[in-house]
Amino acid sequence: MSSLRIFKSSPAIYKITNRVNGKIYIGSASDVSRRIIYHKNTLRNKKHTNRHLQAAFLKYGEQNFTFEVIEYLDDKLKLRDREQYWMDLLKVCDEKFGYNIVPNSQHKMLSEETKRLLRLRPVRSGWKHTPETKQRISILAIERNRLLGKEPGKKFNKTGLKRSELCGDLNVSRRPEVRQKISEALRGRKLSEETKMKISLKNKGSKHQKLWVTSVEERDQIRHDHERIGMTFCEIAGIYGMSRVTVRNIVKRKYYGDIPSSY
């Protein structure tokens, strides 16, 4: 792309030129600096509304396109007329010479009455699905309910199974490969004597559960176990002798949220 230029924030007519084949795109803007930045960003992110210009940008590369102002104006009401003049002069709507799609620059202008009517129009007013679309939606809903064990017209399934059991492999945490990765991450990990004691007390049936952590180090270790190693709330709760809800609150920063983590 051309070297860095600073454009005025003024009404102007601009052009984008492909230096390889000479094709041009003509446009106008009340703030040409902002408009050119918009073109550059959308082209780089592959989201430009002009498919011809976007395709050429991807094909020839950013370095082969230049952006320049060909006429500054003191009155933005003259933009459309001057844009049309340059479009006709350079024949940019002819695919041999340019990338513009609509030959009439006035298509962008809406009267005040048209704008008012558009604001008053309800969103998707009168929208109706075709019979074919309704039938497809119905078939998909029936199939979904069948997979979940639901009866037609019933809110809950009567199989007695949990959704995770009905979905089977759709539950990511139950997939063998995921469980294997968690197992490998935990393998070889050495526990401190304090942690071993906590596990021992838990296994002995102690029903006294902590409702908070005793130190910042313990809090950070709990978050590390969940976020870095992948341990579940229940597994962590068993190690530290606290409830699953307490572990969840610590991980979600509901407790000690004002103290930054040390990792």
- For residue 257, the model assigns a pLDDT of 43
- For residue 7, the model assigns a pLDDT of 80
Domains of the chain, CATH where assigned? 12-114 (3.40.1440.10), 131-170 (no CATH), 188-251 (no CATH)
Q: What is the pLDDT of residues 42-83, one digit of tens each?
A: 999 999 989 999 999 999 999 999 999 999 999 888 998 999
Q: How far is C-alpha 96 from the chain's CA centre? A: 37
pLDDT category at 255 given cuts 50, 70, 90 is: low
Q: What is the pLDDT of residues 187-216, one digit of tens each?
A: 777 777 777 777 666 655 445 455 555 677
pLDDT category at 36 given cuts 50, 70, 90 is: very high
0.95 exceeded by pTM = no
Determine which of 6-10, 70-74, 161-165, 216-220 has the lowest per-residue pLDDT on average.
Answer: 161-165
